[in-house]
């Protein structure tokens, strides 16, 4: 497989079939992807990476790699083994894989609830939403999949009061949207649409961890390695504007 981040500065190539594949819902992957993160695990020697990757240690054992220019969350490396996880959302063209294994799935009945005030993985950026979060939208477009590493979940509403505190890095996508992320840990923060819509990444908030998306958009562009749940509203060619 070959792939790249959203801006193209980081590229990777893998050899041979992955040892395993999974979609991770843990709080660290949630923050860095904005939603959930899909990966293929390979031997480190079977993955070639080019371009500058910024690594962040969320734990002593593992480091997480993202593109410092566009924020794309691409790699997870367990330093105690010879393995590296590579983001399936960043793969160019079909992966010819089917990912069935889900890790750290939150129990919807055990939602923490509480205020929508939370922080990125490293704690440098905090986000507060002083309103009902409303619907959660999952975007399957190629730009979002490459930035997230799988499928980001967002809270979309131009009229809501939100407060972002701390320094964020931004990347302007073709089409004009400004994507912001924490430059230290790669947590996805917000998506400023060209028409003035501000979306906050739902993955930031522990209080929303157990909620499945209410709407799926740009489903015509989804990856080949997962299915969208049936009976959930979907907009094949549409996005927020």
List of residues contacting Zn ion (CB under 5 A): 5, 7, 9, 24, 26, 29, 67, 69-70, 120, 122, 124, 182, 184-185, 187
CB of 5 to Zn ion, least distance (A): 3
Q: How far apart are CA 241 and CA 144, in angstroms?
A: 15
Q: Is residue 194 classed as helix, strand or coil in its secondary structure? A: coil
DSSP at 225: T
Alpha-carbon dihedral sign for residues 64, 223, 24, 132: positive
Contact between residue 234 and residue 215 where contact means Cβ atoms under 8 Å apart: yes
Q: How far apart are CA 217 and CA 202, in angstroms?
A: 15
Of 42 and 120, nearer to Zn ion (C-beta) is 120
Tokens 């975007």 locate to 139
Of 127 and 234, nearer to Zn ion (C-beta) is 127
CB of 29 to Zn ion, least distance (A): 3
Q: Is residue 100 classed as helix, strand or coil in its secondary structure? A: coil
Diameter over CA atoms, the chain:
49
CB of 2 to Zn ion, least distance (A): 15
CB of 203 to Zn ion, least distance (A): 11
Q: φ, ψ for residue 38 (rounded to 5)?
A: -110, 135
CB of 68 to Zn ion, least distance (A): 8
Q: How far apart are CA 61 and CA 63, in angstroms?
A: 7
Of 16 and 102, nearer to Zn ion (C-beta) is 102
Of 69 and 111, nearer to Zn ion (C-beta) is 69
CB of 238 to Zn ion, least distance (A): 26
Contact between residue 8 and residue 38 where contact means Cβ atoms under 8 Å apart: no
Of 166 and 215, nearer to Zn ion (C-beta) is 166
Contact between residue 190 and residue 201 where contact means Cβ atoms under 8 Å apart: yes
Of 9 and 135, nearer to Zn ion (C-beta) is 9
CB of 163 to Zn ion, least distance (A): 16
Of 120 and 234, nearer to Zn ion (C-beta) is 120
Query: What number of CA atoms fall less than 13 Å from residue 119's CA on the CB side?
Result: 11
């Amino acid at each position: 497989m070959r792939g790249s981040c959203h801006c193209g500065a980081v590229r990777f190539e893998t050899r041979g079939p992955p040892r395993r594949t999974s979609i991770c819902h843990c709080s660290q992957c949630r923050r860095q992807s904005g939603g959930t993160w899909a990966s293929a695990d390979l031997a480190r020697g079977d993955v070639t990476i080019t371009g500058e990757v910024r690594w962040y240690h969320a734990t002593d054992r593992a480091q997480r790699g993202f593109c410092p220019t566009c924020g794309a969350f691409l790699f997870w490396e367990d330093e105690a083994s010879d393995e590296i996880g590579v983001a399936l959302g960043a793969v160019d063209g079909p992966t010819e894989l089917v990912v069935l294994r889900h890790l750290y799935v939150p129990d919807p009945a055990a939602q923490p609830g509480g205020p929508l005030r939370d922080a990125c993985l490293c704690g440098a950026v905090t986000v507060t939403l002083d309103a009902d979060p409303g619907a959660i939208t999952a975007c399957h477009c190629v730009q979002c999949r490459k930035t997230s590493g799988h499928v980001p979940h967002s809270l979309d509403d131009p009229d809501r009061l939100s407060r972002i505190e701390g320094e964020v890095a931004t990347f302007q996508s073709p089409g004009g949207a400004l994507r912001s992320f924490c430059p230290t840990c790669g947590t996805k923060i917000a998506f400023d649409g060209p028409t003035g819509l501000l979306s906050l990444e739902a993955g930031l908030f522990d209080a929303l961890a157990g909620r499945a998306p209410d709407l799926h958009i740009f489903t015509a562009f989804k990856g080949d390695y997962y299915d969208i749940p049936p009976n959930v509203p979907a907009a094949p060619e549409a996005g927020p504007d």
